Structure 1
Amino acid sequence: MKQIVHIHGGSPFDSYERYLSALRNDPLTYESLFHKTKWRDWLAVTMTDFDVLVPNMPNKQNARYSEWKIYFEKILPFLGNNVQLIGSSLGAIFLAKYLHENPLSIPVNRLILIAAPYNDATHEDLGDFILPSATGLEKSAKEIHLFHSKDDTVVPFTELAKFQSDLPSAKSHIFVDRGHFQQPTFPELKELLEK
């Protein structure tokens, strides 16, 4: 069985007060209330030769690393021997931190980190997701791929260099016009997953 597991993003805060402040002060637009097709949904529909698992991680609006760790560890027993792990945004830093602290006993085929923050909280808190190091991820994945866009306004492009320093064997996929990868399709990712 070929499996793809995608861990989505979220918003951590270093205190409950900061979370409440964001709820009160972050602008809400009418357009943001419409349903938007996301590339993870598109992958699940179009990649019919794979089991595409898209778990909803706990409390994504006020995410806590310890809660995500508990839930992720419930997913691990379902994984076979042909797995590709994808983390986007907060999901990427989660996977990096988790695998740094808890190397997998059987490496996955691919680990793909998309728009991954490392430790720069310029645009938002990273709470307890801050990554002390991404070294050692090679123990948990046969291949590591890093996707980042130079025009990302959520996670600074400078974060990519920190991952590249820790993971010299990782392959980087650099874009100039994808922002935070919030598009409805992601053909470059699909092509990589199908290899």
Structure 2
Amino acid sequence: MVTLCNNISLQIPNFKCVLHNMPDPFIARESIWLPFMESELQCDSKTIIIGHSSGAAAAMRFAETHEVFAIILVAAYTSDLGDENERESGYFSRPWQWEKIKSNCRHIIQFGSTDDPFLPWNEQQDVAHHLSVKLHKYTDRGHFQNTEFTDLLNAVKKLLPTPV
């Protein structure tokens, strides 16, 4: 299963792709999103979680305590950026458990853009550094709010088993 947090959609034959509106979309509280990911989206060890922005923070926090097949992080960051709304979400109230995230994910992929108007590039680099992953760097994607992202689709396809 591929689970998508926020507003990215995929169509992959022979695989269940789930896209739901996340509850509490404006504050994106961890206390609401993580239980929703577990109970409603049924994220488990066979799931690829694709998280964009707050969804990336949710994917990382989920992976601290749950095994998942993969997390794909788009526009991921490590701090509340001095923003009250981000602080209220709860994701940034304690240190990240980077080693637990790595041990609970078979695969971690990250995408970021240097021209993101909301996230400093060093925040995105911090995620890649702590998770020991390659940061797929763009200079022209902003906050990845366009409707087509072929590189994301290709990354998911590479994670899927080859059909017999």
Which residue is 2:59 aligned to? 95
| Residue identity in the other structure for 1:89 | S
Distance 2:143 2:37 in 1: 23
Which residue is 2:151 aligned to? 188
Q: Any stretches of 5+ residues in structure 1 without a counterpart?
A: 9-37
The structural deviation recorded for 1:145 is: 0.8
Which residue is 2:49 aligned to? 85
The structural deviation recorded for 1:158 is: 1.2
Aligned residues: 154
Counterpart pick for 2:126 among 147, 153, 162: 162
| RMSD across aligned positions (CA) | 2.1
| Residue identity in the other structure for 2:3 | V
Bigger Rg, which one: 1
Counterpart pick for 1:49 among 14, 25, 28: 14
- Relative to structure 1, the CA distance from residue 125 to residue 79 in structure 2 (aligned partners, 3 Å threshold; closer, same or farther) is closer
Counterpart pick for 1:129 among 71, 77, 91: 91
Which residue is 1:171 aligned to? 134
> Is residue 77 of structure 2 the alignment partner of residue 117 of structure 1?
yes
Which residue is 1:61 aligned to? 26
The structural deviation recorded for 1:90 is: 0.1
Q: Any stretches of 5+ residues in structure 2 without a counterpart?
A: 159-164
CA contact (8 A) 2:113 2:138 kept: yes
CA contact (8 A) 1:133 1:166 kept: no
Counterpart pick for 1:7 among 5, 8, 12: 5
Larger relative contact order (Cα-Cα within 8 Å, sequence gap ≥ 6): 1
SS in 1 for 2:102: helix
Q: Provide the TM-score with structure 1 as the length reference.
A: 0.71
CA contact (8 A) 1:134 1:167 kept: no
Distance 1:160 1:192 in 2: 18
The structural deviation recorded for 1:184 is: 1.0
Any idea what the Cα deviations from partners look like across 1:136-193, whole Å, max 9, x if unmatched? 212221111111000000122111222123111x222110100000111110011111
CA contact (8 A) 2:44 2:66 kept: no
Counterpart pick for 2:37 among 60, 72, 79: 72
Which residue is 1:152 aligned to? 116
| Residue identity in the other structure for 1:129 | Y
Distance 2:148 2:115 in 1: 18
Any idea what the Cα deviations from partners look like across 1:55-98, whole Å, max 9, x if unmatched? 2221102332111122122036x457643111110000011122
The structural deviation recorded for 1:132 is: 1.9
- Relative to structure 1, the CA distance from residue 66 to residue 182 in structure 2 (aligned partners, 3 Å threshold; closer, same or farther) is same
Q: Provide the TM-score with structure 2 as the length reference.
A: 0.83
